[in-house]
Structure 1
Amino acid sequence: MYWYVTAVSSLFLLAAAFSVIFALYAWNRKPVPGSAAFSVFVLSVTCWVLIYLLQIVSGDLAAKLAWAKLQYLSISLIPASWLAFSLHYTNRKEWLTPKHWVLYMMIPLSTLIFVITNDSHQLVWVQINRINIGYLSYIKMVPGVWYWIAMLYLFGAFFAGSLMILTATRYEIASLVPQQALVLLVGLALPWFGGAFYILGMSTINLTPLSFALCAFVVARYPLNFRFLKRTPLKNHMVLNSLDDGVLVIDCNQVIVDANLAMTDVAQRPFSSIIGQQLSDIFPQVTENYDQLKEKTLDLDCEEGYTRCYEVKRSALLDWRKFASSEMLVFHDLSERKQLEALRDELTHSMVHDLRSPISNSLFALEMLRNGSLDNQDADSKQLVQLTYENTEKVLNLINNILDIGRLENGNIPVSLTAVSLAKLVDRVLSGHTPRAQAKDIIFVREIPTELPVAWADEKLIERVLQNIVDNSIKFSPVGGVIKVTAVLVDGHDIEKRRIHVTVVDEGPGLTPQSVETIFDKFVTGAEKESGNGLGLAFCQIALAAHNQKIWVDSKPGQGASFSFSLALPPQLPDDAYPQDEWPDTSADQSSANLLFSPSSPTW
């Protein structure tokens, strides 16, 4: 029967050795939430295994009883350390205050006291029986009332912690495939089987410490996700590794927990130095724009000194429980496409620039004909020249728009920031569009508070922005419609974040959700016959971007459109600095000018 003694001893020693290894690795992974508490849990299990082994191999009954009492020192630490690990790991630190620790340790400390003083009250065990099996002897204790309370607390705390781990939204749990999840579930159930076998008399040896040691191995394998045991799903996924696009998986703390092999080219660093790093340490630009990363293009500088452009897309990564517990970033290389676009833009710019001179000369000749050389011509000839002049002027404006957009995108048009009176600017724009508004019986309504501060912008660029928006509103407004232009001061938490919002509202056909998403892109036009060349609103967006400002639209089909853009205030000036000039006390006849004006309320 010596082999039996050797087998049992070897089994317990092996479990203790592995438990020590897991405890050391958990301690070395202290940045992982709960790893320190897990180390205490594993060391407690290790002590329990070793002490129980010493209890088995001891020949003297008094020695066995001493080891039996000593093992409760380890047993008492297991529920509290397991709860601490589970609460840390699942980000429930509010349950780890000193007040809660007192509650967690009340039953374990009481158990230790009752074990030491059991002879006087027999609350932990009532009777001790010695059982001999071959060369081994065991002690079988008849449990008392407090024994059941202690076991209920031990397994109750273990159940609560296990439930928190299984429902955690951390990536280590989320990345498990169903088979791995089943292994984790079985591992967490092992202590229940070990305890049940012993309590029900199905096993003479108490398998509970062994089952806790095996449970520690499973928890170390999956929730703590030790690197020496880990094989990342993406690293071994042939489909993802065959992609040219880089793929990153990040947890809720923006720590990179997984990546495919293509990310080594994107990040310009080896795979081992990507995993476990903060996203901000590798891609700070991505972190700064993370909230807008549903679909965003970023320029990333590479170590070789050239720039590669990536389209970065962010999406939720669902686990086997359908929980969105982590997120995936896909880096699609747009460098080659950007180079082709740059060549195309350069060619277009050259062609348009070459067209500008002959068209300008033609326009000058037509203007001379229109102003002085057609006095003796008939009405049809004059109308033909006028029509030719207007269309040539439109072509020249189109060419100027294309050239200006290119210059703005390349930063070749300097933005000269000055104090701009929005009252005067809106007045000029609306007055310039009065003839077109008259033709459609459109009424302008202007609402700008007299106390509104001036804006800090390039006056010429912003005037062109407003002209383009008002021009579009007139174009799509119905006959007899109303176009309202407003400007309001939007307060921020500090003066540097305060903005003026200018809004133009019309009563046109409105925009579809798809059109709203692309309305500011170059060469994008609507399906209506009034649609232009798709450059006016693109110019507005680029011009405002040069001011570090934004433009947006709110619209639904059949409900008109509301175009708004923001403007900054002059730097380091109070709210009432540079008030708008008082409106002139004049009025315009509605029937002749289609303008409404009230001296008491500055509205057109």
Structure 2
Amino acid sequence: MDTQTLPYVLPLFVTALATMVLSVSAWRRPASGTVPFALFLAAISIWSCGYALELLSLGLTAKTWWAKFQYVGITALPVLWLIFVLQYTQRTHWLSLWNLFLLALVPGCTLILVWTNEIHGLIWETINLTPTGLLVAFAPNYGLWFWVHTAYSYLLFGLGFVFLVQFLIRSPRLYRSQVGALLIGAFLPWTGNVLYVFGLNPLPGLDLTPFGFALSGLSITWGLFRLRLLDIVPLAYDSVIESMGDGIIILDGQRRIVNINPTALELLDYKIDEVIGQSVYHVLDLSLVHIAIADDKQQTVEITRNQTMSVLDVRRSTIAHSHGVELGVVIVLRDITEQSHTEVALRQAKESAESASRAKGIFLANMSHELRTPLTAIIGYGELLSRDTHITESPIMTNDLHAIQIAGRHLLGLINNVLDLSKIEAGHVELYEELINIPALIDDVVMTVRPLIENNHSTFEIHNRDELGVIRADITKLRQILFNLLSNAAKFTEYGTVSLMIERSLGDDEEWVSFQIADTGVGIPTEQMDQLFEEFIQGDDQIAQKYGGTGLGLTISHRFCQLMGGTITSTSAEGAGSVFTVCLPAKLTNSKVEDTPPHIVTNIL
């Protein structure tokens, strides 16, 4: 071992050790591009270590062997450098398996020719030892393939430089520092190699390339640990991101803004130089900062810029390595100010409509009261006049009075329905529960609708009339429900059958009573079933003109069923009749029908 070379070899060993440590550190970083970069640093370590051992060796054979060993790193460096640059600048589509094979073809041939140089001399035609000061330098005469290898290596390094410079020009400020560190780290040893290969070295025989790596190690270390070179892969400002209507903000692991598109800059009223590389704590509103550091995936926030408030829909996504390690955060901003204003306007319109509906209900209730009083008087006077024998002797007068009474009762029924509906909508309907004798109530309702059934030449059937006994419910509302459904069935059924079936059942620990009204009448078209219980729905015009009605009976029955905790359902087929089923909580008592006081059922007549 030549101890006089220690001043030269110590920096080389330090460089070899430092670059190997940096290689391990880069390898452990969870980001794309770390593998070629880590191998690039490892190749530098091999070259530096091999050259140090070459300088320490005394004989030609030993120096030649270590010179060959260095080519393991020398041939790999240009290829690894270009692969890393392509990944770093987002040109990974060039890295197909075929292209990688072509890239490695010349270095692979070079490495084989180095270790077989004694056969052909294509790398070193002759090998000599030249004393240079304290050193005995390895001084070969280069063969043809050496220049092929050198030209190829310079080409790959040059391409990498061009790509980095292009990226430097169009990158945000934070990326420019990273790219600058890479350019310095590669330029110094490349310059030393040019001086050595072309005989321009101020220290003849001494290869300055590994010493250049010692200086570049400082630049690379600064890039890795100060600029977080491999913490997050740069995302190119491609046309898709820049033209997006949504704002895009990309943060690194330290919540610094590393990328932002023009839409986000416009929404936040910033210039790109004011935000790139800055912490979100310094430039973003507190609401956006909270999203950046929290786990919330979506929020709606309000921000104020230039005295103008904007409403933003903010979505947060994590950029993670395949192993689940977080690399950064993507924040997507969408301006929903106009949509928010529209929603506010719709909400206000809804509230106004509800207020108007309540006012309408109050108006209808008041008008119904005002109309019902004189109308009742008209009907009453008509009944009194119909009892006058002088008037009844005139057929014309009798018919006129009968028409007045029919029209008056029809109008009174309409007013009562409107009044009931307005009370329901205004929330003024109260339930009055009492004991109800079901058979008596059924007889009461059937007696009222039987004439209409018989006038249409239909028959009436009732099933299970006496099985229910006494229940507790609101008798007025139950009577009106049954009357509405039975009168509808009677009105729309001619020469057919109207039936009523009463059943009791147990469900969910509660007893229920059901009233099923079926008819064989005209039925209901399928397209009208969905709006059956809406206000003023009467089917088509021909049916409405023929059968009349207000279109409120089913609506009121439906609302009353809901108020009493029950349901009303229907099935129908046009031309085949209809079936309406009312289900109510029974609250059945143990009282016998015959023991029920008679006053609990009030006749409707």
| TM-score of Structure 1 vs Structure 2, range by shorter chain | 0.3 to 0.5
**TM-score under structure 2 normalisation?**
0.46
**TM-score under structure 1 normalisation?**
0.46
Q: Which has the higher helix share?
A: 2
Q: Which has the larger radius of gyration?
A: 2
